[in-house]
Structure 1
Amino acid sequence: MKRHTISIIIPILNEAKHIVSLLQTLLERVKYTHHEILLIDGGSTDKTVEIVSDFIVNFRRWHHTETNRCVDNLFETEKPTIQIQLFSSDKGRAKQLNFGAQKATGNILYFLHADTFPPKHFDEYILQEIQKENKVGCFRMKFDYLHPVLIVSQFFTRFNVNWCRGGDQSLFIEKSLFELLNGFDESYIIYEDCEFINRVYEKDKFTIIPKSVKTSARKYREKGTWKLQYHFAMIHIKKSKGATPEELYTYYKKNISC
């Protein structure tokens, strides 16, 4: 059986407070160790780059120690070979995601937001779908905040229709299919994941893994849940009526990022 390698691609920007928690969680929850983690920084102005760089140095030091231990222990069946790398790219999540895909050595790409935590053995679930020839899909999603609006929103992530999809659910895809679809459209400063997933639905069968990632509701807490959900809905409606990437971003800047 062919051994697939997953490239976990994480775009980051000013994630100094949270990124170590995500990396530690990934290392705890990954089942196999022949994957790679690629962090793509889009120009952080806090200590994100410094924190990630220190984490990688410490991890490689531990990795070296564990590798030597495995060599000496005849009962070990697999050395800890997972790789973590940090890259810098132009700002913009679509650009960061595409850059990560270019640098990826795995034949499976797994796009993950910096505030989204996958379930235990997430890589095994992805590989099971790949073995069934399901080339692209995502997990269900739960928020870390029990608000009625978000409970309803997360419930709909179990349904396999494109309007229930979003980047917070994470996305796995065979690299060959990603390249066939020409990656993310970099003209989208926001909505890049939804635009890409809409193209996926037109091209291939999409799969929903019946396990949940948990994503942060920090923006909802900051902006107000009802208000933010309304504006996200308006962005979807505007896109369905033909709004350009620039028009979507203008609306976002005015109503969400202000």
Structure 2
Amino acid sequence: MTNREFPLAETSLPSELTVSIIIPAYNEAGTISQLLRYLHQHLAAEPRPELVVVDGSSTDGTPHLARQAGATVLASPRKGRAAQLNYGARQASGELLYFLHADSYPPPGFLADLQRAVAQGYPAGCYRLAFDHGHWFLRLSAWCTRLPFTAVRFGDQSLFVRRTLFEQIGGYREDLLLLEDQDIVGRLRARAPFRLLPGVVTTSARKYLANGVFRLQGLFALIAGLYYLGVPQPTLVRFYRRLIRLGKL
């Protein structure tokens, strides 16, 4: 399929697609309630999207807190971000899927941004990134996400995609426990126009603070480089688990 199958002026699109917000979670008791309250607050004046939390066998009460905060909670048969996201997409009802991390906050008005992008002929896309900490190197790293390269597309930036396109490319690759976000963005960009939205998703810097900003960025760069060189996932996962604190693979 070529990009011509998703022209840049899709006048036949419905004015408002139904939306499912899909949040993978594992031991996110400290973040999930606040995120869901934020989403409810900023969706109050919008057609209500579906809020789906896909839990990967949390042991800290995450599912209970998510239900209390008004989300539909699914127990994923498999732990792992790609597997949880695919499971959530299969169970969700929306025509537009919006994948969001449990510690990441889209900007106010994000639902209108997504609808507008799809109406303009972009069936997939993401936001730029910002961190909730002012360290200069984190600001620099976040600035780089405005560049038009798949190598600077990360799951923290969130991802919207029309269900039809998501199904056509086969969803996330569940054999990838690392870099599944860059893989799917690369495949999406090869199939259809991809929109980098001008706003930012603000994500937690907690992992950087726990590991050291420069140390963690260096480790991430090394893992990404090894991934692109074809190093097998089991090796990358062992490396990640051994060296990175607060990792949840």
Please tell me the root mean square deviation across aligned C-alpha atoms, in Å: 1.3
The one-letter amino acid paired with 2:72 is Q
Secondary structure of 2:112 counterpart? helix
Structure 1: stretches of 5+ with no match in the other structure: 57-83
Q: Which residue of 1 aligns with 2:48?
A: 34
Q: Which residue of 1 aligns with 2:66?
A: 52
Please say if 1:19 is aligned against 2:21: no
Secondary structure of 1:137 counterpart? strand
Counterpart selection for 2:163 from 157, 171, 175: 175
Q: Which residue of 2 aligns with 1:113?
A: 101
Structure 2: stretches of 5+ with no match in the other structure: 1-12
TM-score of the superposed pair, with normalisation by structure 1:
0.86
Task: Give me the identity figure in percent.
Answer: 37
For the residues of structure 1 that align with 2:131 and 2:50, how far apart are their CA atoms? 26
Q: Which residue of 2 aligns with 1:87?
A: 74
Instruction: Give structure 1 regions of 4+ aligned residues with deviation exceeding 6 angstroms.
Output: none
Q: Which residue of 1 aligns with 2:8?
A: none
The one-letter amino acid paired with 1:153 is S
Is contact 2:99–2:158 with CA below 8 Å preserved after alignment? yes
Q: Which residue of 1 aligns with 2:10?
A: none
Q: Which residue of 2 aligns with 1:97?
A: 85
For the residues of structure 2 that align with 1:50 and 1:97, how far apart are their CA atoms? 19
Q: Which residue of 1 aligns with 2:150?
A: 162
For the residues of structure 1 that align with 2:147 and 2:223, how far apart are their CA atoms? 21
Q: Which residue of 2 aligns with 1:189?
A: 177
Q: CA deviation at 1:148?
A: 1.9
Secondary structure of 2:197 counterpart? strand
Q: CA deviation at 1:103?
A: 0.8
For the residues of structure 2 that align with 1:172 and 1:55, how far apart are their CA atoms? 23
Is contact 1:7–1:35 with CA below 8 Å preserved after alignment? yes
User: Between Structure 1 and Structure 2, which shows a larger proportion of helix residues?
Assistant: 1
Q: CA deviation at 1:189?
A: 1.5
Aligned length: 231
Q: Which residue of 2 aligns with 1:222?
A: 210
Is contact 1:9–1:40 with CA below 8 Å preserved after alignment? yes
For the residues of structure 2 that align with 1:123 and 1:245, how far apart are their CA atoms? 34
